[in-house]
Amino acid sequence: MEKVDILKQKCNKTSFEKLSGLNNRKILDFISKYAAICNPDSVFIRSDSTEDAEYIRKKAVELGEENTLKIAGHTTHFDGIHDQARDKEKTKFLITKEMPLEGLNSIDREEGLEEIEVLLKDIMKGREMYVLFLCLGPVDSEFSIYAVQITDSAYVAHSEDILYRGAYQVFKNTPNIDFFRYIHSAGEVDENKASKDIDKRRVYVDFLEDTVYSVNTQYAGNTVGLKKLSLRLAIRKADREGWLAEHMFVMAVHGEEGEKNYFTGAYPSSCGKTSTCMVKGEKILGDDIAYLKKKDGKVYAVNVERGIFGIIRDVNPGDDPLIWKALNTEGEVIFSNILSKDGVPYWKGDNKSTPQDGVNFSGPWSAGKIDEFGNEIPFSHANARYTVRLNSLENCDSELDNPKGVLVEGIIYGGRDSNTWVPVFESFNWVHGVITIASSLESETTAATIGKVGERKFNVMANLDFLSMPIGRYIENYLGFIKDLKKAPTIFGVNYFLHDNHGEYISSIHDKRVWLKWMQLRVNDKADAIKTPVGYLPKYQDLKKLFNNVLGKDFSEIEYVQFFSIRCSQNLEKIQRIKNIYHGFKDVPEVVFEILDVQKVKIEKAAGEFGDIISPEEFI
């Protein structure tokens, strides 16, 4: 059967006209190929119209993939009990002998494609295939990467519509447009509309065709192609074209005299990334993924997304008033893997009285319910999420859809560290920051993390899970990124988790507001700093003023010394850990070891002069 005949057979008249109107053979070939392989009963072509968006929203409810809640526009979605996170083991890169990927999970390309095609054969029989035309980044921008998503899940299609900008019209106006491709099927589903064949769950990334395959899963991290799956493709594209695709928020920090400076920030999970870009008094432009490009000797960034797929645990009116308001106001919101009772969602840390029964990711639930292994099933999953558009938040920045992006003046890297890094510090320069801060990022495991409590997990640029190239090459790209720049963004390190001698946090959850204000002063040359062996530290008088102005509280010199003393032994141990890690990789730039050794010598010299724990005042 001819490709056009397959599409005529599967599409109704309206959808076929929308597809024909694109006048793009590559798109027709792509969609017809998977219409033939997956064999859906019908194919729906999603344009940018509100009518098409409403069709998918209604389908999600009609099919039982989402359930309505009391507040208009709000729905719940439940992934299966065994489909609650990104599947790192089954997420693989399809490679050839000519493109080895050191240390990354991979499979021979031909073998992987053959396996996927078998899994996809007739997998959509009895269902509808949804085809979406989307954009990563603002539409009609030099940052734009266009994408086509194929899925048989109305929930996935609905999620894509909230999270990403529609681009059907761009495809229609650009006949030879290049695009990323995604093929997803939930596979066979159970009575709760959750994927059943989890043992056959596969997520394969094919760089040669810029294509991602995802089967037998519904969890958004495995299925919403434009999210972390796209990040892997974009990292390779950025490598070819000389820009950066990063796991970063983008936010605006405001100064006392009306200045507005944009920062990006990369933090491993549970290290304060979302809470930083959502702090009171500042603006959020994006919470997860950013593209950074050079223009006119400066660095600009965009948020890849227009929405948030955020962890909902501990979102409550006291700690997250703006998110809470969005989640309790009419409008499009998808709650996933929470507890639903009488049209009301409940989750861990919401400060509400939890009912003793309801419906959650395990189906009908009541307190004390156990799983097949005898473990008690919580009422709401620890990884439960909310999906919402950014512009539903009152603190959404006005430049969210600016096709030119925003000027990046600072980049923040934060880890979870009980005894080494100070709460905030600035690198000496770009190379020093890339190596001793960004490339040395670590996060300690907690009681909520698999593994030993306090174990330090290395996570280069907070992007390790999504790297799609050798780590040495990735660092090299960073180091070379400042070529031709008039002024590189300033690199900062932050640590919100420093402990005292009794194992208690020494700083408050709100202190990060002060650290942001200090960084904003620094990029505007409005505050001096103390030069130490690890970088520039704030001066006491500046922080004292900021604590009073921002938080309305005193900040004593005793606290200052406790916060910002250099812990020499711990810093030296960290340098050795990082060196040992990089010795385990091939082709790491030699400058990485040189800069770490220079820092080691500086710390050793200071320790010999002032002792193992050095007050910042010793360096004045």
Q: So which residues are the catalytic ones?
A: 271
Buried residues in 282-308 as b, exposed as e (16+ CB within 10 A): bbbbbbbbbbbbbeeeebbbbbbbbbb
Contact 243, 295 (CB under 8 A): no
Tell me the C-alpha distance between 38 and 40, whole Å.
6
* Residue 608 exposure: Cα atoms within 13 Å on the Cβ side: 6
Q: Does the CA dihedral 220-248-285-518 come out positive or negative?
A: positive
Q: Provide DSSP, 164-219.
A: SEE-HHHHHH-TT---EEEEEE--SB-TTS-B--GGG-EEEEETTTTEEEEES---
Main-chain dihedrals φ then ψ at residue 298, nearest 5 degrees = -130, 170
Buried residues in 190-218 as b, exposed as e (16+ CB within 10 A): eebbbbbebebbbbbbbbeebbbbbbbbb
Tokens of residue 318, six digits: 């006291």
The torsion defined by the Cα of 506, 512, 514 and 515, in degrees rounded to 10, comes to 90
362: helix, coil or strand? coil
Q: Are strands 385-389 and 333-336 parallel, antiparallel or unpaired?
A: antiparallel
C-alpha angle 504-508-511 in degrees, rounded to nearest 5? 140
365: helix, coil or strand? strand
Tokens of residue 165, six digits: 């900008």
Other beta carbons within 10 angstroms of residue 425's beta carbon come to 27
Q: How far lies 573's CA from each of 161, 327, 378, in Å? A: 47, 44, 39
Q: Are strands 535-538 and 344-346 parallel, antiparallel or unpaired?
A: unpaired
Tokens of residue 467, six digits: 């790297």
Contact 272, 458 (CB under 8 A): no
- Helix extents (H) in 385-457: 430-433
Burial class (CB in 10 A: 0-12, 13-18, 19+), 276: buried
Tell me the C-alpha distance between 59 and 57, whole Å.
5
- Helix extents (H) in 396-502: 430-433, 471-480
Main-chain dihedrals φ then ψ at residue 203, nearest 5 degrees = -135, 105
